[in-house]
Amino acid sequence: MSSAAILAVDGLSVSFPGLRDERTEVLDGVSFDVRRPETVALVGESGSGKSVTALTIMGLLPETARIDGGRISADAKLAMIFQSPRASLNPLVKAGDQIARVVRLRAGESAKRARAEAVELMEAVGIDDPERRYHAYPHQLSGGMAQRVMIAMALAVRPELLIADEPTTALDVTIQKQIFELLGDLQSRYAMSMLLITHDLAVVAETSDRVVVLYQGRVVESGPAREIFERPQHAYTQRLVGSILRADKRVPLTTVEEPV
Amino acid sequence: MSEPIVNVEDLCKTFHSHGTDVRAVDGVSFAVDPGETLALVGESGSGKSTTARCMVRLTDPTSGRILFRGQDIAALSRRRLRALRRDIQMVFQDPHASLNPSMTVRQTLREPLNLHGGEGAVTEARLRELMERVHLDPNLLSRRPDQLSGGQKQRVGIARAVATRPAFVVLDEPTSALDMSLRVSLLSLLAELQRELGMAYLFITHDLSTVRQLADRVIVMHRGRVVESGAVDAVLDSPSEAYTKALIASIPVPDPSRRQRPQAATA
């Protein structure tokens, strides 16, 4: 573990039950680290293992999963936000109370002080009129607002590393921009590192210092974002970078064959 | 100028929910020319998908007209509508949900041809040719959807839509459920099929980067109304409405050297 790393994943292998008696290897010797303070993007497409990596780090793997090898060293408090904010919140508990519960778990505060801190956190994540919104239930929140509540819950832990698993995939692009602006502000304010899990290279370009590319459970390439975009080495990374479409540029649509 | 193939006139769709009326589509008008790709762009709640569903009568409009070659789709009986299905087709967003899981690809592709194919029996040769048209191995005809990848399934969905040589195809977010690396090849396929078969597309999407690649013209919708429309390059390069400007400004730029707020990188 290098001196500045606050999270080091070293040779992580994870498997799930497969068909018959065999096990399906989902992660195969995954290694990377996150330093302080930076944003690392864990990039991959469906089935690459990027979400399983995050769940393993957070200790949230389902019981059927097995860690076959490797180690994870974290020298920091971690928190995580998820792709579907409304589905990740408890539908029966007021938004503010969900944040206050995390505050109490962290600090053992009195209910009154936890409530006051929850309101402060709601304000910090840009929720207007937090006193009133405190009493809103998740179904009364828009997707963007629900993700802000999730972020406030994460901040309640006072994390040094935030793991964000596709935090804006379910949101409209104008809301996505607001959420990433908020995360950027919070990172500078609280000196927080971020591990961003995403399939969207455009988002990576706008947010991340370094990139780790996962493909079929293995890290195929990693490095500074600019190098990955400008000089991708591995064939898969080249294909990913080559598939980027830009709204400000027309590219010739010629490749018709389905890549295998 | 040729006559438009589709004319939408003052289309409205109101949903009733918990005692209130929601105007999902609120007075939308546009025309689609033969052989062109018209993109209908908007965020969630803009009314773009409801408009698309009205176009193929998966939902009935509250008011307004949808003229296909002069015939009002919104007012047709089921029987008359069925005759039009040959010419008006749709590709759905989620290929996993829009193919019948118990049917083989062969059965899926036979269906539109049996219903609308007209002349002669549906031969194996015709099905194989259809597969090749969407760049799928004809040997996949015997497979069921769960034996296909997501990209292959969407190609089957496209083959089903173009099987009857329609004149107008509604593409409802055809690439948004697919991995990024499959997007380009699927858009290329759609462009190629249009060149070969000459059909018009109504391309529903929230993704302006795919609009730039595939569409000729674009309509921007917001809260059930059209806020701006025009040639793709004109609208995307110099939008005139505040909402369009905000939408374009929100798109992440995939270029790390242009990152706006560089953070202190570790040494």
Res B207: pLDDT: 92
Within 8 A by CB and 6+ apart from B142, the residues are B104, B105, B106
Res A255: pLDDT: 54
Res A251: pLDDT: 79
Q: What angle do CA A239, A241, A247 make, to 5 degrees?
A: 125
Chain A: closest CA distance from residue B170 (Å): 20
Using CB atoms, pick whichever of A39, A226, A256 lies closest to residue B189.
A256
Res A108: pLDDT: 86
Give residue B42's pLDDT band: very low, low, confident or very high (50, 70, 90).
very high
Domains and CATH numbers, chain B: 1-87+168-239 (3.40.50.300), 101-165 (no CATH)
Res A202: pLDDT: 93
Residue of A nearest to B151 (CA): A258
Mean confidence (pLDDT) of chain B:
92
Chain A: closest CA distance from residue B17 (Å): 15
Mean confidence (pLDDT) of chain A:
92
Q: Cβ of A199 and B248 within 8 Å?
A: no
Going by C-alpha positions, the residue among B193, B139, A195 that lies closest to residue B185 is B193
Within 8 A by CB and 6+ apart from B92, the residues are B98, B157, B172, B174
Within 8 A by CB and 6+ apart from B216, the residues are B36, B37, B38, B231, B232
Region A56-61 average pLDDT: 95
Residues B158-187: pLDDT tens digits? 999 999 999 999 999 999 888 888 888 899
Res B267: pLDDT: 35
Report the SS3 class of residue A133.
helix
Res A177: pLDDT: 94
For residues B4 and B200, the answer to whether their CB atoms sit within 8 Å is no
Give residue B192's pLDDT band: very low, low, confident or very high (50, 70, 90).
very high
Q: Cβ of A256 and B259 within 8 Å?
A: no
Region A107-116 average pLDDT: 91
Residues A129-188: pLDDT tens digits? 999 999 999 999 999 999 999 999 999 999 999 999 999 988 899 999 999 999 999 999
Residues B225-237: pLDDT tens digits? 999 999 999 999 9
Using CB atoms, pick whichever of B179, B183, B256 lies closest to residue A205.
B256
Going by C-alpha positions, the residue among B162, B171, B148, B76 that lies closest to residue B112 is B162
ipTM of the complex: 0.83
Mutate to test the interface with B, among A231, A256, A260 (most CBs of B within 10 A): A256
Chain B within 8 Å of A92 (Cβ-Cβ)?
A: no
Chain A within 8 Å of B17 (Cβ-Cβ)?
A: no
